[in-house]
Amino acid sequence: MSFTMRREGCPLGAVETWVFDLDNTLYPASCGLFPLVQERMNEYICSLFGVSLDEAKALRARYFREHGTTMHGLMAVHQVDPHEFMAFVHDVDLSCVPANPTLVAALRGLSGRKIVYTNGSVPHAENLLEHLGISDLFDGIFDIVASDFTPKPSAMPFREFVRRYGVEPTRALMVEDMAKNLAPAAELGMTTAWVKTGVDWAAVASDADYINYVVEDLAGFLSTAAELERETRS
């Protein structure tokens, strides 16, 4: 089974707005892209502060834990330019990200709006969506700039996201690999789906009662949703 349901939410066949996290969600964490981004973060920190690689790794991890993202920590503590930081760390080779025609077909089969909500940048999201062959299937990208540089899971940018796109939360479903980031979506009334990746830090709060679905295979989950949607319309 590609997913399990923990509790009922908006029926899969009735979802009007699909909200997707980007990194380690729309592509498998196992492909190793995010570690490449982390390596670029290490390089940036080494260059900025003149520290060793081990010291840079420790600082990156510390700011991630304490501030939600490494960038947010660098901005708060050191007034780092976020645009410069993102341009540097997202300058990575996407060839490790595999094609997923089943996912493409599943997304194409869903009639509801599809929006990316990411702690990354619009250019990074656009590059990945283009690489995956799904850029034409999305109606918008809500990035960290649109969030006023406040990362998930802060509630404020979620409210702005809902306002900006006119989302009816009770008819929306959010898909995310970091379980704790689904809390504010659930508080607004969205149905939630946590994608299991095997990454320890992404599983924090994965036993929370605000998670409706636990997803093993995103393409399979969305294929089921598309089928249920067709049945609902027929």
Tell me the per-residue pLDDT of 16-50, one tens digit each, with 9 for 90 and over: 999 999 999 999 999 999 999 999 999 999 999 99
Tally: H helices and E strands in the chain: 9, 7
| 47, 103: one domain | no
Output Rg (C-alpha) for the chain, integer angstroms: 18
What is the H or E stretch that residue 146 is in?
Answer: none
Q: Residue 81 pLDDT > 80, yes or no?
A: yes
Domain housing 61: 33-89
Side-by-side strand order, sheet with 213-215: 3-5, 213-215, 191-195, 172-176, 17-20, 113-117, 140-142
| 13, 117: one domain | yes
| 128, 208: one domain | yes
Domain boundary among 69, 89, 109: 89
Please give the pLDDT value at position 68.
Answer: 86
| 229, 128: one domain | yes
Query: Who contacts 176 (Cβ-Cβ below 8 Å, separation ≥6)?
Result: 20, 21, 25, 152, 182, 185, 192, 193, 194, 195
Supply the pTM of this predicted model: 0.94
What CATH number is attached to the domain comprising 102?
3.40.50.1000
Domain boundary among 72, 89, 106: 89
Instruction: Report the number of distinct structural domains present in the chain.
Output: 2
- Judged by phi (left if over 0) then psi (alpha if -120 to 50, else beta), residue 189 lies in left
